[in-house]
Amino acid sequence: MPLLKSIRIGTVTLPGNLALAPMAGVTDLPFRRICRELGADLVCTELVSARGIRFDRSLGRALSLLEIDPDREAPVAIQLFGGDPEDFRYAIDAIRSHPVLDRCDLLDLNMGCPVAKVVRNGDGAALMLDPARAEAVIRVAVEAAGRPVTVKFRLGWDAARRNAADFARMCRDAGASAITVHARTRDQMYAGKADWTLLADVVRAVDIPVFGNGDVRCGEDAVRMIRETGVCGVAVGRAAMGDPWVFRRIRVALGSEAPGAYPPDAHPPEAHSPEGHPGMASAEERAAMMRRHAAETAARLGEARGIREMRAHLGWYLRGSAGASAFRGIAVRVETLSDVEGLVADWLSVQREHGRR
Pick from 15, 22, 30, 242: which binds ligand FMN (CB under 6 A)? 22
User: How far, CA to CA in Å, does 260 sit from each of 40, 83, 181, 268?
Assistant: 13, 40, 28, 11
User: How far, CA to CA in Å, does 94 sit from each of 59, 99, 117, 344?
Assistant: 7, 10, 24, 41
Residue 14 beta carbon to ligand FMN: minimum distance, rounded to whole angstroms: 17
Pick from 5, 24, 187, 224: which binds ligand FMN (CB under 6 A)? 24
Shortest CA distance to 118 belongs to which of 149, 80, 88, 145? Answer: 80
Sign for the CA dihedral angle at 27, 29, 34, 40 comes to positive
Of residues 235 through 294, those in contact with ligand FMN by CB under 6 A are 236-239
Distance of alpha carbon 51 from alpha carbon 37, whole angstroms = 33
User: Taking CB under 6 A as the rule, which mask of x and - marks residues 182-221 in contact with ligand FMN?
Assistant: x-------x----------------------xxxx-----
Residue 55 or 190 with smaller CB distance to ligand FMN: 190
Of residues 75 through 104, those in contact with ligand FMN by CB under 6 A are 79
Shortest CA distance to 244 belongs to which of 286, 291, 202? Answer: 286
Distance of alpha carbon 3 from alpha carbon 203, whole angstroms = 16
Q: Is 110 in the site for ligand FMN (CB under 6 A)?
A: yes
User: Taking CB under 6 A as the rule, which mask of x and - marks residues 132-171 in contact with ligand FMN?
Assistant: --------------------x-------------------
Distance of alpha carbon 156 from alpha carbon 126, whole angstroms = 9
Catalytic residues: 113
Residue 239 beta carbon to ligand FMN: minimum distance, rounded to whole angstroms: 6
Pick from 12, 14, 42, 47: which binds ligand FMN (CB under 6 A)? 47
Residue 24 beta carbon to ligand FMN: minimum distance, rounded to whole angstroms: 4
Residue 47 or 74 with smaller CB distance to ligand FMN: 47
Shortest CA distance to 236 belongs to which of 215, 261, 262, 208? Answer: 215
Pick from 21, 68, 118, 202: which binds ligand FMN (CB under 6 A)? 21
Distance of alpha carbon 326 from alpha carbon 328, whole angstroms = 5
Residue 187 beta carbon to ligand FMN: minimum distance, rounded to whole angstroms: 15
Residue 228 or 335 with smaller CB distance to ligand FMN: 228
Phi, psi of 226 (to 5 degrees): -65, -45
Which H or E element spans position 330? helix 324-331
Give residues in contact with ligand FMN (CB under 6 A): 21-26, 46-47, 79, 110, 112-113, 152, 182, 190, 213-216, 236-239
